[in-house]
Amino acid sequence: MPLSDLEIARATKLRPIESVASGLGIPESALYRYGPVKAKVDLGWLERQPENPDSKLVLVTAISPTPAGEGKTTTSIGLADGLRRLGMKAALALREPSLGPCFGVKGGATGGGRAQIAPMEEINLHFTGDFHAITAAHNLMAALVDNHLYWGNALGLDESAIAWKRVMDMNDRALRRITLGPEGRGPARESGFDITVASETMAVFCLAESASDLMARLERMVVGRAKNGEWIRAEAFKGVGGMAALLKDALHPNLVQTLEGAPAFVHGGPFANIAHGCNSVIATRAARRLADIVVTEAGFGADLGAEKFLNIKCRSAKLVPGAVVVVATLRALKMHGGVAKADLARADAAAVTRGLPNLKRHLDNMARFGVRCVVAVNRFAGDTPAEFDALASACREWGVEAISCAHWADGGEGALELARKVREMAREKTEFRLLYPDHMPLEEKIKTVATRIYGAAEVAFSETARAKLAQYEKDGFGAFPVCMSKTQYSFSADPERMGAPEGFTLPVRDVRLSAGAGFVVALTGDIMTMPGLPRTPAAERIGLDDDGEIYGIF
């Protein structure tokens, strides 16, 4: 019986974190240790390090996810290990896992097989406590808002226009709508919870470039509107200092390692289907200062995470990707070609061909940004040469190379061909461009993403969404990029429409202003900012054995 991911990780002897840090030139004095194999790196020390203008940034994204699995994180890790085997000074910059998916569907988010970051069970659960700090900071502001109302509402806050919800880092659909009671002072009001990784505090944390930038962004966050129509920002409640104090330690980026000892900065973790889906700017810049090539990842398919990485994170932080890796599996392509999950073990090159339009659209979308792509085919045991040839021949026609990768089974050795191709691509000059300019109206930005990236024919805005967008434009927020909140399973807002649907109408039911993060969120279809647990959650399989060791994380 093959070893589980957790058993593989525990069977691997990890290097002391001081040794991992030393490989990047980080002295022991700049480390805040969390045990022997994980640490935070002092932000002040990092900010004193010179920029590395020759460092290359590689983005790993994927086709639209399916229950068959794609493996972006696994491929990112295998690629970094492969680059190091080629003698390159490589590092990873990844997101932290959220407890919601760990106990919901995924069970873990630290890679798999021989391509993992470790210690995997600690990273997947509490890690260094960053998400708890973000949760507490966000909820501090919520408590201050309600306390302000209780003591007379001197700011004249319109209770029906309060946008600030509470958050927790767990899937709990029962908390989507709650009633808040003022203990006899005024009427009750309706509110709810979002998951922490969908919160604006998480987005601000991940887009901030320094502690001072974090403070400025926290101050700019809009909590609601006054009865006279004016925006009321977080700074008005005099709690931003407290929020920053709670986030002080969390802001230092976390350093861990792959099973092969490659350094990995793992920091921040907004969802890509309801937030912007990228790790922190601080961690990405830290990795670029210290390594010659940095592998990062954006969540879900390229229509979500990659689009937001390029349109939001790169715009905000002035980053330029040197290459993009689009991850696909033959199993997932067969599902996009109409094969049921139960039948995926059966060889079916024709189904792979039928599923290729999904991959093609993602590649076409990346080309719109002027970035060079390679397709990494994350290999499974049942894959056949005929199935791979169907994919590879189509990619050749499209002018893109497809590379079969075995990093899950063989670690960096199984990703050497991919690493060579990425090294070659990263050395070439890039022609990166944004999808839309800052001055484009917000409605047009949403339509641009919907039509050019998703394949929609039109966008149907609710009256509420259209009125809010007009108000945002009027009040000076029109230059913001848009953060689309959409199902990850389809280009459309319907999760059942796999493949590459086109000509559909994308419904935008509401929009939210994230003034501190610097974007406008567009809520499409039935997407929820507080997910629910599946019928059989991963939590049912996670526990402690008689030796006090965690099991069930995968």
Taken in order of first residue, the domains within the chain and their CATH numbers are: 5-128+250-426 (3.40.50.300), 131-247 (3.30.1510.10), 442-524 (3.10.410.10)
Percent of the chain predicted with pLDDT > 70: 99
74 is catalytic: yes
| 547 residue type, one letter | D
Mean pLDDT of 409-419: 97
Binning pLDDT at 50, 70 and 90, where does residue 181 land?
A: confident
Catalytic residue among 231, 408, 477, 491: 408
Sequence-ordered list of residues with C-beta below 8 angstroms from that of 398, at least 6 positions apart, any chain: 360, 363
477 is catalytic: no
106 is catalytic: yes
pLDDT of residue 209: 97
CA distance 412 to 81: 4
Catalytic residue among 272, 287, 332, 465: 272
Sequence-ordered list of residues with C-beta below 8 angstroms from that of 427, at least 6 positions apart, any chain: 56
Catalytic residue among 106, 176, 360, 466: 106
Mean pLDDT of 8-27: 94
Q: What is the pLDDT of residues 161-177, one digit of tens each?
A: 999 999 999 999 999 99
pLDDT of 431 higher than 80: yes
pLDDT of residue 157: 95
554 is catalytic: no
Give the residue from 260, 273, 174 showing the smallest Cα distance to 524: 273
Residue 3 buriedness (CB in 10 A; 0-12 / 13-18 / 19+): exposed
Q: For residue 233, what are the β-bridge partners?
A: 222
Catalytic residue among 164, 380, 491, 519: 380
Catalytic residue among 61, 73, 74, 529: 74
Catalytic residue among 95, 379, 421, 512: 95
33 is catalytic: no
Binning pLDDT at 50, 70 and 90, where does residue 106 land?
A: confident
pLDDT of residue 184: 61
pLDDT of residue 517: 97
300 is catalytic: yes
Q: What is the pLDDT of residues 459-484, one digit of tens each?
A: 999 999 999 999 999 999 999 999 99
* Helix (DSSP H) and strand (DSSP E) numbers for the chain: 20, 25
Average of per-residue pLDDT values in the chain: 95
Percent of the chain predicted with pLDDT > 90: 92
Instruction: Tally Cβ neighbours within 10 Å of residue 440.
Output: 17
Cis before residue 119, ω within 30 degrees of 0? yes
pLDDT of 422 higher than 60: yes
Q: For residue 418, what are the β-bridge partners?
A: none
231 is catalytic: no
pLDDT of residue 6: 80
Catalytic residue among 40, 56, 72, 447: 72
Write down the pTM of the prediction. 0.96
Quote the tokens at residue 446: 């949403």
Sequence-ordered list of residues with C-beta below 8 angstroms from that of 430, at least 6 positions apart, any chain: 320, 321, 322, 323, 370, 371, 372
Compute φ and ψ for 347, nearest 5 degrees.
Answer: -60, 135
Mean pLDDT of 442-468: 98
Alpha carbon distance, N-terminus to C-terminus of the chain: 16
CA distance 295 to 415: 13
Quote the tokens at residue 8: 């593989």
Q: What is the pLDDT of residues 310-363, one digit of tens each?
A: 999 999 999 999 999 999 999 999 999 999 999 999 999 999 999 999 999 999
Sequence-ordered list of residues with C-beta below 8 angstroms from that of 333, at least 6 positions apart, any chain: 63, 351, 352, 355, 356, 358, 359, 391
164 is catalytic: no
- Is residue 325 within 8 Å of 58, Cβ to Cβ? yes
Mean pLDDT of 66-88: 95
Sequence-ordered list of residues with C-beta below 8 angstroms from that of 275, at least 6 positions apart, any chain: 197, 198, 199, 202, 203, 483, 485, 521
